[in-house]
Amino acid sequence: KDEVKTKVDKLYEEAEQATEKLDGAKEKQQKLQKQISALQDNVARGQEELNELRDGLGSMASAQYRTGGIDPSVALFLSSDPDDFLDKASAMDQLSAQQVESLKKVQEKQRSLAQQRAEASAKLKDLADTRAELAKKKKEVQSKLGSAQKLLNSLTAQEKAALAT
């Protein structure tokens, strides 16, 4: 009877420790889920910004295409208003500088998004590991409680009464 009581107490203590670990793993899981949600939101916003930058580049490229791909000196020669042509050429030069700047922004945004996606992916893996740990701890707790219950069930009614007192 004393041996059973000792074993049952030990099993309950181990189950309690496993439950504490389970609670810790649950907290870690919740924290990771919040971090992943924040990262996914950042990636979504970043993708929108990237799409806007790409649209701007597309508009600039179409404007350049509409002006034609004629050599600037020939265009100046053919132009009916050379002053107007020079104004447009200056604007196109500024447009090119804007395109270079926009391309840099697009590249930076793409790098940033790739990094955030990698970070989110790593956290998702960590979350999957935490969930697996949770399942293992839960099974461990159930097993120990089951063992304790079997030991208690093996006692006679008289031994159970004596143990309760």
The DSSP-derived string for 73-105 is HHHHHH-S-HHHHHHHHHHHHHHHHHHHHHHHH
Question: Which is more confidently placed, 75 or 52?
Answer: 52
Supply the pLDDT for residue 74.
47
Q: Return the minimum-mean-pLDDT range out of 16-20, 66-70, 80-84, 108-112.
A: 66-70
Nearest of 14, 48, 41, 50 to residue 147 by alpha carbon: 14
Would the pLDDT of 49 be above 60? yes
CATH number of the domain at 2-160, out of 3.10.20, 3.40.390, 3.40.50, 1.10.287? Answer: 1.10.287
Specify the DSSP element, H or E, that contains 62. Answer: helix 2-67
pLDDT in tens, 84-108: 666 666 666 665 666 667 777 778 8
In total, the chain counts a number of residues equal to: 165
Q: Where exactly are the structural domains of the chain? A: 2-160
Supply the pLDDT for residue 10.
85
Question: Which is more confidently placed, 116 or 82?
Answer: 116
pLDDT in tens, 8-43: 888 888 888 888 888 888 888 888 889 888 888 888
pLDDT in tens, 139-157: 888 888 888 888 878 877 7
